[in-house]
Structure 1
Amino acid sequence: MKTTVFLFHPNLNNSTVNKALAQSLDNDIEVRDMYSVYPDFKIDVSKEQEVLEATDRVVLQFPMYWYSSPALLKQWEDDVLTYGWAYGSSGDALHGKELVIAVSPGADNYGREDFAKYTVHELLRPFQAMNRLVGMTYIEPFVTKGTSTIDRGTLTKQAQAYNKYLHQENLRVLGDFE
């Protein structure tokens, strides 16, 4: 299974968590630092579609900012996931491919009873809806919580778990409202 990580971090060099997660991955997983590839936000749509077509498992990795994703990820979705290619009556290029969201919110207390009042999975609903529209299989997200206070030992274990997770064949598929 060909796995490609599309890493959307606006300042990866100063990242602790996303950099460690990406560096933990074995060489058989392609990692694309999207802010390095597109610092000007001018996305090569045909190139991105070509990469997606050659991938079985698409991983969107990013830090969660203000309950959402970095701006380049939204721009990438808007530009690359085009009508007639990704969705619509003839848009089936992504059908059957897996989508994994690998997200790292700064806080560790996301839940209905916590300060945010929403779970991380609820905050990721727009990705789940996009996934449904383009016919991909939505895999349970890989979540690294508490990144603003994570210690080195916990981060090392989480990075190892990430590499192991992305190498698993039968990851849990989530339904529309899970």
Structure 2
Amino acid sequence: MHFKNSNDRNSLININQIKLSDSNALKNALVELNGTTAEYGLFLTVKQINRLSDAVGKALRESDRIEIGSGILPVIAEEFCTSVFVTRENYAQLLEDLIYIFFQVKTAVCDRVSDKDLVRLLKDYYENKAMGSAEVIGERDIDLLVKYIEMEKGILGDSLADAYDSESYTDERT
């Protein structure tokens, strides 16, 4: 896909040349965030930060999205570092899983929920419905998570909200 450059009507910009995110800003933000997350025993290595930066780029490409500046991952990391389910051993993988989940859900709710609200609701679902398992959300509960967020934000249609009230929710793992 190509777009015309407004400065020169004869030149074209290749969409594949546009950066989807600022990986240096993201990496710097994650390094700085290590100071905060270290209080909870969580720390990302340079290798993990590079891997997360690559994962963000891949998730953005797969979801046809772009980010400005450091993006949403530092917000996710800061919100989730206080969870009792997050450990030094699962922290980096959890962040990688959550970035994919975040963009899937953001697309599913058609951007009707702010990024910060979505992160807060994602954490609530992770802790209280998925019992600390991003794998459960990603592999089985994406649709339930979307409905949960739509209910919490009041963006469900009445019939769907009635069908998915708190009394009818059953946890299939129990």
Alignment TM-score > 0.5, same fold: no
Higher relative contact order (CA 8 A, sep 6+): 1
TM-score range, shorter chain: under 0.3
Which of these two proteins has the greater Rg computed from alpha carbons? Answer: 2
Q: Which has the higher helix share?
A: 2
Q: Which has the higher strand share?
A: 1
